[in-house]
């Protein structure tokens, strides 16, 4: 009986390793297919998504430059510095000027012609990311967008959990549709700087794969505050710093303080 239990445990561990190995292979394949250049900027907050992408790209031989934006003393600036003490990658930071912010946010709203607050906040954030990339002679920036949508990163997935897999899948499709459209608006804004924002984990092939990953590997319950567990486990396995692996989600617009300052200008 004891031998049988050990065999079962070994099988479960092996199965989990295979799941993570398959996830890593699919991420690498998507990056290889989507990213045309070896020198790239990565929109970097220090959170598990952007740090995982940074680590995988570096391991694949890309020349990675971390790009962080935010208002002075914002969470993302402070935390990204802390995480990069472990990584020691090339890291550049652009602090947003509160004096010029109102005009820039107003102009971006006119460009994208959309009143969705989240869209405006993200487009403003990537305006600054693109500006920073341009100053460093980078024309390609990679993001981890798609992870939260495909691996239940958002808090809304907790609310959907009690409705079962169908409810989660419905929310996932809605989130994906919104994200794909929003990133088109982001690239419209980034085009001012001749910078392309790429999202390898929003490719049709990766989306198809990610939807086959069991929900149980993504979210455990309605009380699950961390979620996207398979992503966190993979991050740990590829030696992403633990402070990043275990970090709870903080959206770009909040971590950069863009949300706070944008509301002040309205």
Q: What is the rounded CA–CA span in Å between residue 157 and residue 169?
A: 10
Residues 203-228 have pLDDT tens digits of 999 999 999 999 999 999 999 999 99
Has residue 62 got a pLDDT over 60?
yes
Whether residue 17 is contained in a domain is answered as no
**Full 3-state SS string of 127-179:** HHHHHHHHHCCCCEEECCCCHHHHCCCCCHHHHHHCCHHHHHHHHHHHHHHHH
Percent of the chain with pLDDT over 70: 94
Claim: this prediction has a pTM higher than 0.85: yes
> Which CATH number do you get for residue 67?
3.40.50.620
Residues 90-113 have pLDDT tens digits of 999 999 999 999 999 999 999 999
Q: Which domain holds residue 123?
A: 37-148+170-209+242-265
Whether residue 236 is contained in a domain is answered as no
- How far, in Å, are 17, 82, 191 from residue 235 at the CA level? 13, 17, 31
Q: What domain count does the chain have?
A: 1
pLDDT of residue 10: 40
Task: Judge whether 43 and 132 are in contact, CB under 8 Å.
Answer: no
Tokens of 182: 């929003």
Reduced to 3 states (helix: H, G, I; strand: E, B; else coil), residue 73 is coil
Give 23's Cβ-side CA count (13 Å radius): 28
Confidence tier at 259 by pLDDT (50, 70, 90): confident
Residues 167-191 have pLDDT tens digits of 999 999 999 999 999 999 999 999 9
Has residue 2 got a pLDDT over 70?
no
Whether residue 204 is contained in a domain is answered as yes
Reduced to 3 states (helix: H, G, I; strand: E, B; else coil), residue 103 is helix
pLDDT of residue 265: 75
Whether residue 188 is contained in a domain is answered as yes
Residues 13-39 have pLDDT tens digits of 444 588 999 999 999 999 999 999 899
Q: What is the rounded CA–CA span in Å between residue 72 and residue 98?
A: 9
Whether residue 234 is contained in a domain is answered as no
Whether residue 16 is contained in a domain is answered as no
Q: What is the rounded CA–CA span in Å between residue 118 and residue 37?
A: 29
DSSP-derived secondary structure letter, 226: S
Reduced to 3 states (helix: H, G, I; strand: E, B; else coil), residue 246 is coil
Reduced to 3 states (helix: H, G, I; strand: E, B; else coil), residue 109 is helix
Strand order in the sheet with 140-142: 90-95, 63-70, 39-43, 140-142, 196-198
pLDDT of residue 266: 64
User: How are the residues of the chain apportioned to helix, strand and coil, as percentages rounded to the nearest 5?
Assistant: 65, 10, 30
Q: How far is CA 93 from the centre of its chain?
A: 18
- Give me the residue label for tokens 């295979």: 18
Whether residue 237 is contained in a domain is answered as no
Whether residue 159 is contained in a domain is answered as no
């Amino acid at each position: 009986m004891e031998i049988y239990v050990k065999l079962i445990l070994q099988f479960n561990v092996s199965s989990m390793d295979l799941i993570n190995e398959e996830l890593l292979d699919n991420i690498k394949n998507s990056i290889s297919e989507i990213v045309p250049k070896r020198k790239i900027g990565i929109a970097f907050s220090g959170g598990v998504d952007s740090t995982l992408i940074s680590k995988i790209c570096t391991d694949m031989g890309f020349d990675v430059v971390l790009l962080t934006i935010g208002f002075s003393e914002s969470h993302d600036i402070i935390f990204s510095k802390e995480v990069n003490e472990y990584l020691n990658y090339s890291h550049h930071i652009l602090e947003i000027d509160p004096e010029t912010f109102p005009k820039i946010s107003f102009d971006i709203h006119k460009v994208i012609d959309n009143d969705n607050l989240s869209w405006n906040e993200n487009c403003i954030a990537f305006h600054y990311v693109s500006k920073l990339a341009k100053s460093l002679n980078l024309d390609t920036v990679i993001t981890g967008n798609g992870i939260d949508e495909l691996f239940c990163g958002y808090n809304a997935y907790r609310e959907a959990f009690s409705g079962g897999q169908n409810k989660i899948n419905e929310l996932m499709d809605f989130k994906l549709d919104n994200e794909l459209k929003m990133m088109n608006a982001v690239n419209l804004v980034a085009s001012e700087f001749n910078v392309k924002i790429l999202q390898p984990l929003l490719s049709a092939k990766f989306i198809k794969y990610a939807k086959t990953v069991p929900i149980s590997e993504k979210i455990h319950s309605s009380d699950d505050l961390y979620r996207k567990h398979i992503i966190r486990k993979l991050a740990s396995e590829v030696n992403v710093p633990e402070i990043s692996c275990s970090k709870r989600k903080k959206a770009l617009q909040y971590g950069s303080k863009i949300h706070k300052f944008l509301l002040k200008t309205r």
